[in-house]
Amino acid sequence: MPESPLAPLFEPPYWVVVFSSQRTEGDHGYGAMAEEMERLVAQQPGYLGMESVRAADGAGITSAYFRAEADARAWKQVARHLEAQRLGREQWYRGYRVRVAKIEREYGWDRE
């Protein structure tokens, strides 16, 4: 069975950073940077996992999960991530939203 695109369930409490965006036309280096950010965030202290989807019209949502609020704040300040944020504002996104929340409970189900 293929690996699930859903992040596993984590032990609450933990934090989620939800990044919703609308892409511009063309790649302009976006794909390579997105792959780099996925590798880089996985190396950050407190990182638990992430989920990401992008629709055909360019709308997307990425949720990154962290053990503590300080871990999520530290990720925002990583130098290469700051560069990706700048490029996103300049050329990759028509708009975006960032929401940060504490997860206090969760549940789920997977078909075996």
Q: What is the pLDDT along the chain (112 residues), one digit of tens a residue?
A: 457 788 999 999 999 999 999 999 999 999 999 999 999 999 999 999 999 999 999 999 999 999 999 999 999 999 999 999 999 999 999 999 999 999 999 999 988 7
62 domain residue, yes or no? yes
In whole angstroms, give the CA distance from residue 49 to residue 95: 24
Tell me how many domains the chain contains: 1
Find the CATH number of the domain harbouring 62: 3.30.70.100
Residue 112 has a pLDDT of: 74
Predicted confidence at residue 110, as pLDDT, reads 87
Q: Is 9 domain-assigned?
A: no
Q: Is 29 a domain residue?
A: yes
75 occurs within a structural domain: yes
- What pLDDT shows up at residue 57? 95
* Cβ atoms of 7 and 16 closer than 8 Å: no
Q: Which helix (H) or strand (E) holds 86?
A: helix 79-87
The answer to the question of residue 32 being in a domain is: yes
pLDDT of residue 2: 53
- According to the model, what pLDDT value does residue 1 have? 41
- pLDDT number for residue 5: 82
User: Is 68 inside any structural domain?
Assistant: yes
In the chain, the amino acid numbered 53 is: V
Token pair, residue 30, equals 């976006």
Closest CA to 53 of 41, 44, 45, 61: 61
Domain that includes residue 64, residue range: 14-103
C-alpha angle 4/9/11, rounded to 5°?
160
Residue 4 within any structural domain of the chain: no
